[in-house]
């Protein structure tokens, strides 16, 4: 057994605060930030190892460097380049439980790095792949991935098995059980993992390669994302480079956009809409207003108070009429759809935020997801 | 410039407490303790490096492992085996201030180790030796080594230069400016270092090889150690193995003994006395009382409330009459000497604790140490 641990609750934030105190003006150096942050996980590997030994077990801790987790040089958001698991194998052969510091690695030059958000999950999945582990269990504070948020849809069920792609679409649609980056890594290297609860022994959700049986379920789950805003630029000239100009400006300002929708043009002009987190709306307006004239746009229409509902399932690919079914369900409930966007395995709609919970319950029931 | 740093005040104690919490019954594993404790210095190297960069300097941090500090496998009290300073040299050539984590190293097998008490001073002196540094400055909270404790002897002077041996005798006599282990390391590898104050720019005390001029000063300093106790075992049979039996029992109980005095035997029996910290006296009694009959000793006489006064100086070796001069000084002050012990460069006497401060002032003046 190999255990990957995170820092104790609050420790990483406290270390970041210390860094801000000594480096108030400039951004602290990424290299030094990583040396600092890596102490959080180094503390927990030692303590967990001691605790297991105190209970009579055999345990040895390894930092990311000692575990052979080699990364690139992108400090504070490094990517795992390679894992040399010889030391872990040696310790496992000696009958040890091996406790590895998550979230950290080392460059080929011997510098300490950290992996950024979702880093410990990523470490675990990458190690499971490198070690050829039978199973990788990700311990969280929920029982697994649900067909919808149980606080919104009381009869939501825990999903027993889900494909990587469905998990990714659920994650990008507001079901924040895990960071997408870790799921993508699992997909890339074919690592099956289980998302389960730290506080009970219930089986969790197995995330794995798509299997034939999975397509029989049309919709795997419904997810919602609140606190969204939509922005529309109206009557843009229908010519190349307009969309690029808009989203380059937005990206350079560091604003993260979610859905982007453009319909066909009528009378030589078109409208482009996008959604984003409502907190980012003022920022986006400040970026776009100065270039409005340049773009020859008529106006910006911006509104918050909207939310996104997504239905996700790889079964969609082989079942027609899923979109129509969703629209009918919402229509029957008297819920107006403001925007629509689809991918191969997801249909997402923007609704008024006040109606999002009712819409989720209607879709959940309508697609027969209840337990 | 290479800077060696310790952990922040209180951090090491807090980490030890965490270890006790998870490992309440057994002693935590030394290996894991070292992984844990090493985070203290890893935190400060990153923060100091960031602080220097924020001020416009160029700084890079190195853990003990990254700095090439190789140790043996004796966890929590490792000895430095070798230093490979290539990485430090490379960074120095690049114009960096190199910030190294004190107190820690790495074994040939890649395990993190710590050096035990005085570890950061030791790291600094060892690095200065390996790098061929011109000077090694040890920053403390005092201006240097004094001819006597200035709180006791107001006209005590800071000593400008002192030999390793004198520094060692002063340290073992209660002048706790530095751990003896670090001084011994400096002596062994001929590293000249300066003990100076972190809070001002005053020149400190240079600790170095003995020079010809040093012998002209008969006494370098006077040091005192309070809270001592003395134990005498009376009328022991004068035969081989008796002293060994006593001090083996004491050592196995973990009691640290300071002076040991045995006088010639009269009428086939002898008395053996030793001193120790008064806090350890009950423990020592518990160890000795059961073996008293075995030893054929008459009785144990134990008393606390005594203190030790030492005069130290390599000049003693070439000046006769130093001991006599000390005894005369004390006698003229009406101070009774209870025990005497001498080494080549030190004379130590045990006095009543109530008289120790006056004795120190008399000795300090009597040997002309005042500024």
Selected for mutation to probe chain A from B25, B39, B60, B112 (highest A CB count within 10 Å) is: B39
**Partner-chain residue, chosen from B19, B45, B54, that has the shortest CB–CB distance to A23:** B54
B35, B51, B114, best to mutate vs chain A, most A CBs in 10 Å: B35
Percent over 90 (pLDDT), chain B:
70
pLDDT exceeds cutoff 70 at B26: no
Compute CA distances B39 → B14, B26, B34, whole Å. Answer: 12, 22, 9
Q: Is the pLDDT of residue B267 over 70?
A: yes
Check pLDDT > 80 for residue A264.
Answer: no
* Residue in A24, A35, A46 closest to B61 by CB: A35
The minimal CB distance from B26 to the residues A39, A43, A54 is found for: A54
- Nearest-Cα distance to chain B for A61, in Å, is 7
Structure confidence at residue B124 as a pLDDT band (50, 70, 90): very high
Please tell me what DSSP assigns to residue A239: S
Range A181-186, long-range pairs (CB < 8 A, 24+ positions): A181/A116, A181/A117, A181/A118, A181/A122, A182/A118, A182/A121, A182/A122, A182/A124, A182/A125, A182/A138, A183/A207, A185/A80, A185/A122, A185/A125, A185/A126, A185/A129, A186/A125, A186/A129, A186/A136
Please write down the long-range contacts of B329-334, taking CB distance under 8 Å and 24 or more positions apart: B329/B362, B329/B363, B329/B366, B329/B367, B330/B359, B330/B362, B330/B363, B332/B362, B333/B358, B333/B359, B333/B362
Kindly report, residue by residue over B208-264, the tens digit of the pLDDT. Answer: 999 888 888 889 999 999 999 999 999 888 888 888 889 988 888 888 888 898 877
Evaluate if residue B293 carries a pLDDT over 80: yes
For residue A35, the chain B residues in CB contact (below 8 A) are: 42, 45-46, 49, 61, 63
- pLDDT tens digits for A231-262? 999 988 888 888 888 998 888 888 888 889 88
A215 found inside a domain:
no
> Could you tell me the pLDDT band of residue B129, with boundaries at 50, 70 and 90?
very high
State residue B18's pLDDT score.
Answer: 93
| CATH of residue B121 | 3.40.1160.10
pTM beyond cutoff 0.90: no
Structural domain including A15 reads: 1-134
Structure confidence at residue B120 (pLDDT): 93
Angstroms from A178 CA to nearest CA on chain B: 28
Contact A359, A309 (CB under 8 A): yes
C-alpha span between A274 and A221 (Å, rounded): 24
Strand order in the sheet with B104-106: B80-83, B69-71, B104-106, B112-114
- B124 CA to chain A: closest CA distance, Å? 20
Q: State the pLDDT at residue B24.
A: 77
B112 contacts A22? CB cut-off 8 A = no
Q: Is A126 inside a domain boundary? A: yes
Taking contacts as CB-CB distances below 8 angstroms, the residues of chain B near A42 are 35-36, 38-39, 42
Rounded to a whole number, what is the distance in Å from the CA of B100 to chain A's nearest CA?
Answer: 12
Decide: A39 and A15 in contact? Cβ < 8 Å. Answer: yes
- Band of pLDDT at residue B87, cut at 50, 70 and 90: very high
Instruction: Give the residue on B whose Cα is nearest the Cα of A40.
Output: B39
What's the pLDDT tens digit per position in B185-206? 999 999 999 999 999 999 999 9
Q: Number of A:B CB contacts under 8 A?
A: 110
User: Which chain A residues are closer than 8 Å to B109 by Cβ?
Assistant: none
The verdict on residue A67 lying in a domain is yes
Q: How confident is the model at residue A27 (pLDDT cuts 50, 70, 90)?
A: low
What are the DSSP E strand ranges found in A238-369? 257-262, 269-277, 300-312, 339-343, 346-352
Highest mean pLDDT: which of A340-354, B95-109, B314-328, B340-354? B95-109
Contacts of A15 in chain B (CB under 8 A): 43
The nearest CA of chain B is from the CA of A65 a distance in Å of: 10
A31 falls within a domain: yes
Structure tokens at B312: 């130290």
Residue A98: what pLDDT? 98
Whether A46 sits inside 8 A of B33 (CB atoms) is: yes
Confidence grade of residue B25 (pLDDT, cut at 50, 70, 90): low
Chain A residues interacting with chain B (CB cutoff of 8 angstroms): 15, 18-19, 22-26, 28-29, 31-33, 35-36, 38-39, 42-43, 45-51, 53-54, 60-61, 63, 65-66, 87, 110, 112
**Under DSSP, is residue B21 helix (H, G, I), strand (E, B) or coil?**
helix
Instruction: Tell me the chain B residues in contact with residue A18 when contact means C-beta distances shorter than 8 Å.
Output: 43, 47
CA A39 – CA A274 distance, rounded (Å): 41
Those residues of chain B whose CB sits closer than 8 Å to some CB in chain A are: 15, 18-19, 22-26, 28-29, 31-33, 35-36, 38-39, 42-43, 45-51, 53-54, 60-61, 63, 65-66, 87, 110, 112
- Give the Cα separation of B243 and B239 in Å (integer): 9
| DSSP letters for B96-148 | PEEEEETTEEE-TTS-EEE--TTHHHHHHHHHHHHHT-S-EEEEESSSS-BSS
Question: Cβ contact (<8 Å) for A50 and B32?
Answer: yes
Query: Which residue in the set A36, A45, A54 is minimally distant from B35, CB to CB?
Result: A45
Predicted local confidence at residue B321, as pLDDT: 86
Q: Which stretch of A85-89, A121-125, B20-24 has the lowest confidence by average pLDDT?
A: B20-24
The pLDDT mean for chain B works out to 91
ipTM attached to this prediction: 0.78
Give Cβ neighbours of residue B334 (< 8 Å, ≥ 6 apart). Answer: none
Query: Which residues on chain B are in Cβ contact (under 8 Å) with A38?
Result: 42
Confidence of residue B178 (pLDDT cuts 50, 70, 90): confident
Residues of A in contact with B26 (CB under 8 A): 53-54
Is the pLDDT at A192 greater than 70, yes or no? yes
Mean pLDDT of B122-128: 96
Is residue B329 a part of any domain in this protein?
A: no
Q: Residue A3 in contact with residue A99, Cβ under 8 Å?
A: yes
Place B174 in a pLDDT band, splitting at 50, 70 and 90: low
Best residue of B12, B20, B21, B22 to probe chain A, by most A CBs closer than 10 Å: B22
**Are B61 and A33 a contacting pair at CB < 8 A?**
no
- Domain membership of residue B181 (yes or no) is yes
State the average pLDDT over residues B151-168: 93
Q: Is B43 within 8 Å of A19 when comparing Cβ atoms?
A: no
- pLDDT for the residue A123: 96
Tell me if B23 and A54 make a contact (CB, 8 A cut-off).
yes
Which residues in chain A are contacts of B46 at CB distance < 8 A?
Answer: 19, 32-33, 35-36, 39
Flag whether pLDDT at A32 surpasses 80.
yes
Query: Average pLDDT, stretch A278-287?
Result: 92
Residue A225 falls within a domain, yes or no?
Answer: no
Q: Please, which pLDDT band fits residue B65 given cuts at 50, 70 and 90?
A: very high
Indicate yes or no: CB of A23 within 8 angstroms of CB of B50: yes
CA–CA separation, A113 and A104 (whole Å): 6
Instruction: Write the pLDDT tens digit of every residue in B96-106.
Output: 999 999 999 99
| Residues in chain A within 8 Å Cβ distance of B45 | 35
User: With contacts defined as CB-CB under 8 Å, which chain A residues touch B39?
Assistant: 39, 42-43, 46
Mean pLDDT of A26-48: 92
User: Could you tell me what percent of chain A has a pLDDT over 70?
Assistant: 98
Residue to test with chain B: of A11, A50, A104, A113, most B Cβ within 10 A = A50
Answer whether residue A8 is part of any domain. yes
Mean pLDDT of B155-175: 87
The number of distinct structural domains making up chain B is 1
With bands split at pLDDT 50, 70 and 90, how would you rate the model's confidence at A229? very high
């Amino acid at each position: 057994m190999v255990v990957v641990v995170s820092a104790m609750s609050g420790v990483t934030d406290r270390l970041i605060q210390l860094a801000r105190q000594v480096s108030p003006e400039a951004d602290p150096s990424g290299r030094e930030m990583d040396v600092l942050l890596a102490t959080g996980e180094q503390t927990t590997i030692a303590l967990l190892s001691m605790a297991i030994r105190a209970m009579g077990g055999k345990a040895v801790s390894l930092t990311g460097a000692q575990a052979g987790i080699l990364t690139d040089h992108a400090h504070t958001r490094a990517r795992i380049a390679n894992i040399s698991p010889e030391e872990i194998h040696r310790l496992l052969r000696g009958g040890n439980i091996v406790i590895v510091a998550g979230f950290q690695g080392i460059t080929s030059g011997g510098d300490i790095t950290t992996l950024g958000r979702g880093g410990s999950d990523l470490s675990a999945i990458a190690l499971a792949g490198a070690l050829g582990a039978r199973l990788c269990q990700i311990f969280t504070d929920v029982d697994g991935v649900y067909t919808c948020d149980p606080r919104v849809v009381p009869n939501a069920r825990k999903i027993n098995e889900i494909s990587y792609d469905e998990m990714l679409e659920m994650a990008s649609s507001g079901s924040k059980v895990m960071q997408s980056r870790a799921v993508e890594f699992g997909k890339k290297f074919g690592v099956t993992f289980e998302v389960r609860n730290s506080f009970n022994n219930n089986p969790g959700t197995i995330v794995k390669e798509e299997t034939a049986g999975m397509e029989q379920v049309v919709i795997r789950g419904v997810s919602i994302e609140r606190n969204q805003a939509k922005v529309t630029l109206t009557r843009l000239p229908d010519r190349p480079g307009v969309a690029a100009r808009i989203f380059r400006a937005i990206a350079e300002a560091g604003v993260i956009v979610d859905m982007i929708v453009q319909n066909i043009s009528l009378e030589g002009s078109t409208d482009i809409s996008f959604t984003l987190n409502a907190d980012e709306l003022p920022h986006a307006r400040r970026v776009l207003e100065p270039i409005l004239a340049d773009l020859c746009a008529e106006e910006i229409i911006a509104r918050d108070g909207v939310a996104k509902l997504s239905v996700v399932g790889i079964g969609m690919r082989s079942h027609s009429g899923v979109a129509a079914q969703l629209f009918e369900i919402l229509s029957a409930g008297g819920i107006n759809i403001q925007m629509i966007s689809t991918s191969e395995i997801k249909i997402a709609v923007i609704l008024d935020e006040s109606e999002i919970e009712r819409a989720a319950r209607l879709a959940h029931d309508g697609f027969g997801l209840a337990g």
